Amino acid sequence: MVQSNEKTVFPYIPNSVPEVKSQMLAEVGASEIMDLYAEIPAQLRFQGQMNLPEPILDEYSLKRHLRGLLEENKNCEEYLNFLGAGCAQHFVPAVCDEINGRGEFLTAYVGESYADHGKWQALFEYCSLMGELLDMDVLSCPLYDGAQAAATSVRMAARINGRREVLIPKTMNPESSQVLRNYCQPDLSLVEVGFHPQTGQLDLNDLSGKISAKTAAVFIENPSYLGFFEDAAEEIGRLAQQQGAEFAVYTDPISLGVLAPPAHYGANFACGDFQPLGMHLQAGGGLGGFIATADDMKYVSEFKDLMFGITETVQPGEYGFGEVLFDRTSYGSREHGKEYTGTTTGLWAITAAVYLSLMGPRGMEQTGKTIMQMSQYAARCLSAIDGVELRFNSPFFKEFVLNFDRTNQTVAQINRSLLENKIFGGKDLSRDFPILGQSALFCVTETKTKEDIDRLTSVVRKVI
């Protein structure tokens, strides 16, 4: 701590040096600082003292304090983690952390495409790399998270066809569906489509009964929240489009080295969350949403967020960037813009660009394959335990539902026992999906080894 005349000089506030402050006050013709607040009338001034803790002024003590707090948490490096459910523990290449830790990116904001050319290019590359992964031509700057991407996709669809009803699967990610329920008010209504009890997949009879000329969009997840594939995705899309509805598919981008992107089975919108592409868990803080469509002005003009287009500068052949259809956004047209836009997740989008650049086609394919193998291995080992069953018989990606009804224990009890063995068990589904009984959603990514899975299996066998 630096002291001057016994008054604290804050290292982040250069002009808190009393002599400097006095000199500047004199230069602006003020005798005291409150002269500068003359416009705030007395009755609107806060007369009291904010009841905040005594400050921890020096950096070392602050660091100790923060570290002490974080050490109250357990984490997924010291515990074996099988939680996913919308935020998954994937491998993060060191180069991703190196780039998103760069001060220039970390502290940039809304600068223009000259001084911030690198930021514009990196975000253009994010869109371009995601475009290849999704095999679609158009993306905007990122959205807040996958849930927002789902919500905006269906609102885009409704604006395009002027309809008001959206069909969603009953098995939808409950975090996303809660966001969607709020975001669709007051104009859109959501209709849930049931699932096949053995496969988990969308019940096509129920879908056929519910789809109509009022349907704005049919929204599915593939892979689904509960892990399984929607085998009939192409047919679902056809049914939607025959009725003049848009077909929106929420997908997991890390599956797309082995799984067909939604565009290949007829989706008009591909959306999802790119957290798996290079972001740490961060207690959910690493999420970021994407939406992709074909190059058709019907879709392009309905995106709500900024779009950076590549163009040329006055020097022939030199790349520059510009704003695409700026008046489309609320920055350009206030309440007449498409929904609203603002600060979202730019740094994570740049990180995803780094991730995809490192992975290339081979890395994505191999990672997809490893996840398929490890998750199948885990499902096979766990469901071999007496009383533990795979709830659905569909093939799946990364996550699967295990049912524990025959163990006479609740998922909560089992997870408590796993915790004692330094394992975070699968997400307890009994609150969100009571129809599935005592079931849990286990997530197995490329970060899990055979040894990890064998350990989980032996502990589960022991505790039930």
Site for another protein, residues 240 to 259, rule: CB under 8 A = 256-259
Single out the residue of 424, 422, 429 nearest to residue 402, CA to CA.
Answer: 429
| Per-residue burial over 236-270, b = 16 or more CB atoms within 10 Å of its CB, e = otherwise | bbebbeebebbbbbbbbbbbbbbbebbbebbbbbb
Report the residue from 159, 280, 455, 461 that binds another protein according to the rule CB under 8 A. 280
Report the residue from 157, 245, 350, 440 that binds another protein according to the rule CB under 8 A. 350
Residue 249 has φ and ψ, to the nearest 5°, of -125, 125
Cα(424)–Cα(419) distance, integer angstroms: 6
Question: Does residue number 70 form part of the binding site for another protein (CB under 8 A)?
Answer: yes
Hey, what amino acid is at 60? Y
In this structure, what DSSP letter does residue 440 have?
A: E
Cα(226)–Cα(8) distance, integer angstroms: 55
Query: Are 315 and 64 in contact, with CB atoms under 8 Å apart?
Result: no
Query: Are 183 and 155 in contact, with CB atoms under 8 Å apart?
Result: yes
Residues 43-62 touching another protein, rule: CB under 8 A, are 43-46, 49-57, 59, 62
Report the residue from 39, 162, 242, 386 that binds another protein according to the rule CB under 8 A. 39
What string marks each residue from 392 to 431 as x (binds another protein by CB under 8 A) or -? ---x-------------------xx--x----x--x----
221, β-bridge pairs: 250
Burial class of residue 130 in the structure, from the number of CB atoms within 10 Å of its CB (0-12 exposed, 13-18 middle, 19+ buried): buried
Q: Could you give the C-alpha distances from 278 to 98, 100, 130, 166, 288, in angstroms and in order?
A: 11, 10, 13, 32, 11
Q: How many CA atoms lie within 13 A of 81 on its CB side?
A: 18
Residue 318 or residue 386: which is nearer to another protein going by CB? 318
Tokens coding 353: 């660009």
> If binding means CB under 8 A, how many residues of this protein chain bind another protein?
214
Residues 84-113 touching another protein, rule: CB under 8 A, are 85-87, 89, 91, 93, 95, 97-99, 101-113
Residue 345 or residue 438: which is nearer to another protein going by CB? 345
Question: Does residue number 268 form part of the binding site for another protein (CB under 8 A)?
Answer: no
Question: Does residue number 194 form part of the binding site for another protein (CB under 8 A)?
Answer: no
Shortest Cβ 435–another protein spacing (Å):
19
**Helical pair 346-383 and 117-134, crossing angle rounded to 10 deg:** 30
Residues 317-346 touching another protein, rule: CB under 8 A, are 318-327, 330-335, 337, 339-346
Question: Does residue number 266 form part of the binding site for another protein (CB under 8 A)?
Answer: no
Question: Does residue number 1 form part of the binding site for another protein (CB under 8 A)?
Answer: no
Shortest Cβ 246–another protein spacing (Å):
19
Residue 197 or residue 361: which is nearer to another protein going by CB? 361
Residue 178 or residue 189: which is nearer to another protein going by CB? 178
Stretch that binds another protein, among 64-72, 164-172, 211-219, 401-409 (CB under 8 A): 64-72
Question: Does residue number 382 form part of the binding site for another protein (CB under 8 A)?
Answer: no
